Structure 1
Amino acid sequence: MPEYRKFTKDTVMVGITSILLRIKSIIFIALIAKTLGASIYGIYVTLMVTVNLLAPLSALGLTSAIIRFLAGEKDRKRIQEGYSTCLFTVFICSSFLSILVFASAPHLASTIFGNQEAVPIIQAGAFLILVQTIDKISFSFFRAFRKMFHFSILQIMVNIGEIMVCAILVLNGFDLSAIVLSFLGIKFIIFLIAFSMIFKEVGISRPKISLIKPYLKFSLPLIPHSISGKMIDTFDRYLIGYFLSSFYVGVYSVAYGIAMITNLFMGILSVVLFPTVSKLWEEKKIHELKNHFKFTLKYFLMLGIPSIFGLTVLSKEILTIMTGQESVSQSSFIVPVIATSGVFFYSIFPIFGLIFLLVKKTHYNAIILGSGVILNILLNLILIPFFQSHYNYGIMGAAIATFLTFLSIGIITVKLTRNYFKFDIDKLFILKSIIASSLMAILVYKIRVNTFPEIFIPVFIGAISYFALLFLLHAFSEKEIKFFKEIIIAIKGKLAGWQKI
């Protein structure tokens, strides 16, 4: 039970951080898309897609290796050597990649971005690859030792800093280049803070060359895994830009960003889940391990399923309010497709895929996602032009391609992982959640909103009615309800302790 409490409290802490991150994304849609226009937002999205695609490559998968090898490690010297070796290695790789992108800015602007005005923006953003990668190495250290308070505070500092600076710059007439440079500065400052905290706690040693081989043996198969995941999630933006224009990249990205709010819930859980299950696996606590998988899946679906229904009935109003453009609101039809894709994919791969990491079969992750990339590209190449020529709605083709890709990956992942490790899936709860979500959606559909603050009215009413229906349907056991009460009491006690400090 103490392990469950620790897991749940960490999840709540990370949840607060992840909610702020999602709020940041929504605010950026309003600030950049609404103030600077959909085309500029399209350039911004393409830049961030590029950075997020290349950062895992420069990290060499070592962010996961730190968690896998250092979680539970007691030897101070080994911890020093592990962190220092990983940091040094990714610093060299990410510096090289950042310089390469900087030098290639004119070519990237004329091809991928389709706009020569993007050159200074690309050059400013090139070194985001470096700072983002070294940030993640340090954040992985805190995750490995389950110091989620430190991890969350640093993430909150990044998010609040970027929101404030972006708002100030946009409202004072600065361009996208200045905004990107400000992000670079904020991330570097956060790295210095994280580095100083780690130095104070365990110290720093010289990189140990002999550690690189075992670390890379584990992490290198995760590079195509990480890149493939990013490509599936983002490569359709490139193809939309190629077949259509940067305006439609912006339109699609706004709808995609709203729809993928479902990813927020698994993002919260997965940050805490990996170090927790790694520790339980090493300690051979199989029963606890199965329960962690079972309840993580259950509670993700508890939040993910109603999100699909809620986004479906509110998508048009949300998009119109966030962008102020009726043309962008027409993309509301793709939101349910993408939201369903997200819930299905993120309820399966981040959970079931961890089994491959535990049994050290990481090549399966790479093969499955690599195949998914090929399928996704082929589907986009076929469906975007098809829907554009027949229905003048090419972005719907991209949405359907995403759905079919995620569906295929999910089915294959579940089938393969069940050969190595099995845990129970609460099918009855899923049915009850769908019933409660359907009734909630009928209620929320009748509520109309016209301003940003009003969005929270149907969200609040929907959440209250949904959970009330779950309790009426007896979706939770008495043991679960008692456990939740204990967690709430523990969190209140923790918060009271922080206030005294």
Structure 2
Amino acid sequence: FLINFIFLFRLNLRIFFPVELDKGVVKRMLTFSYPFIFSTVAAYVINWVDIIVIKKYLGLFEVGVYSLAYKMGNFLRQFGLVLNTIFFPMMVGLLSRKRKDLINLYFQRITPQIVFLWGIILFFIFILSQPLIPIFFGKSFAGSVSPFLILLIGYYINIFAMLCSSILMTFELVKQVVLVNFLAMLLNLGFDLLLVPKIGIDGAAIATAMVFIFGGISYFFLVNRILGLKERRSLFIPIPFLIFFIFNILFQNTVYLLGSGIILAII
């Protein structure tokens, strides 16, 4: 920092003046950016509403158990966020060169491959988390297993949002994205208030998973519309994994090994 400060004073400050702003560019930047204020608020509410509702209807112990499941899920979600960082500059470059055909190709070819690969990764995490969470975090946190497995379903489908957001931002569909996020916030709050008092922390996990599924599917269809496509094949890829996830959550003791074997055979 000190070295940078010294070099700053050695610069000819005249290079910074006169300050000239293109009003058209500034207006476009503000128009593009201001909706993100609402999106940030929505994301903040989604991140914390589960904890607030659980604390209100249950207790601090349940807050801790659910927080572990949620933090592990968010850690996995970071890998999906990396995809947006990688693909966004590519999409901008392709659009600037008027190569919408390559953007279409990315959506039709790359998206299903990543969805399938993400399903395989989450499949093994799903299997290993059940015995390993109590081992690493103690038996008192064994209750984190169930909400974590439920959240994995939402994080899986939400990969569509991670893959599609770069395209949506490239085409500047900011308002549509913010609308989806705002609706997701309202759905999360509503489902939490409905489910947590009835089924506890699993209800909070179901609410969040449903919101992530809503976001992923909504982004997917928004991209279809902006690209003028009717791509549906990618939506069928998660079905075998989802069947295994849901059946395993409902009937862990009876279909766990059988379901694992079937999915591995499919893979």
Which bracket does the TM-score occupy, shorter chain normalised?
0.7 to 0.9
Tell me the alpha carbon deviations over residues 204-248 of structure 1, each in whole angstroms, 9 at most, x when there is no partner: 957766554331211111222233234324431222233333332
2:21 counterpart of 1:215: no
Q: Partner amino acid for 2:89?
A: P
Q: How far apart, in 1, do the equivalents of 2:220 and 2:28 lie?
A: 28
Report the equivalent of 1:351.
163
Report the equivalent of 1:249.
63
Report the equivalent of 1:73.
none
Report the equivalent of 1:497.
none
Tell me the alpha carbon deviations over residues 291-314 of structure 1, each in whole angstroms, 9 at most, x when there is no partner: 223344234323321233323322
Q: Relative to 1, partners in 2 of residues 1:246 and 1:431: Cα closer, same or farther, differing over 3 Å?
A: closer
Report the equivalent of 1:482.
none
2:213 counterpart of 1:407: yes
Q: How far apart, in 1, do the equivalents of 2:113 and 2:81 lie?
A: 13
CA contact (8 A) 1:254 1:319 kept: no
Q: Relative to 1, partners in 2 of residues 1:308 and 1:260: Cα closer, same or farther, differing over 3 Å?
A: farther
Q: How far apart, in 1, do the equivalents of 2:236 and 2:35 lie?
A: 35
Larger relative contact order (C-alpha < 8 A, sep ≥ 6)? 2
Count of paired positions: 243
Q: Relative to 1, partners in 2 of residues 1:433 and 1:283: Cα closer, same or farther, differing over 3 Å?
A: farther
- Match among 95, 110, 115 for residue 301 of structure 1: 115
CA contact (8 A) 1:262 1:304 kept: no
Report the equivalent of 1:279.
93
Q: Partner amino acid for 2:164?
A: F
SS at structure 1 position matched to 2:172:
coil
Q: How far apart, in 1, do the equivalents of 2:121 and 2:201 lie?
A: 22
2:145 counterpart of 1:332: yes
2:188 counterpart of 1:366: no
Q: How far apart, in 2, do the equivalents of 1:295 and 1:274 lie?
A: 17
Aligned CA RMSD, in angstroms, stands at: 3.7
Provide structure 2 residue ranges, at least 5 long, that are not aligned to the other structure: 246-255
Report the equivalent of 1:377.
189
CA contact (8 A) 2:88 2:170 kept: no
Shift of 1:443: 9.2
Report the equivalent of 2:237.
430
CA contact (8 A) 2:112 2:234 kept: no
Report the equivalent of 1:386.
198
Q: TM-score, with normalisation over the residues of structure 1?
A: 0.42
Q: Relative to 1, partners in 2 of residues 1:367 and 1:208: Cα closer, same or farther, differing over 3 Å?
A: farther
Report the equivalent of 2:250.
none
Report the equivalent of 1:24.
none
Q: TM-score, with normalisation over the residues of structure 2?
A: 0.74
Q: How far apart, in 1, do the equivalents of 2:104 and 2:204 lie?
A: 36
Q: Relative to 1, partners in 2 of residues 1:432 and 1:242: Cα closer, same or farther, differing over 3 Å?
A: closer
What is the 5 A alignment of 1:157-306? 205=16, 210=23, 212-306=26-120
Tell me the alpha carbon deviations over residues 343-388 of structure 1, each in whole angstroms, 9 at most, x when there is no partner: 102x22222333332222211111111011011111111211122x
What is the 5 A alignment of 1:466-481? 470=267
Shift of 1:289: 1.5
Tell me the alpha carbon deviations over residues 58-79 of structure 1, each in whole angstroms, 9 at most, x when there is no partner: xxxxxxxxxxxxxxxxxxxxxx
- Match among 221, 224, 228 for residue 418 of structure 1: 224
Shift of 1:431: 7.0
Shift of 1:426: 4.9
Q: Relative to 1, partners in 2 of residues 1:259 and 1:274: Cα closer, same or farther, differing over 3 Å?
A: same
Q: Relative to 1, partners in 2 of residues 1:230 and 1:384: Cα closer, same or farther, differing over 3 Å?
A: same
Q: Relative to 1, partners in 2 of residues 1:432 and 1:380: Cα closer, same or farther, differing over 3 Å?
A: closer
Shift of 1:329: 1.1
Provide structure 1 residue ranges, at least 5 long, that are not aligned to the other structure: 1-191, 388-393, 447-464, 471-501
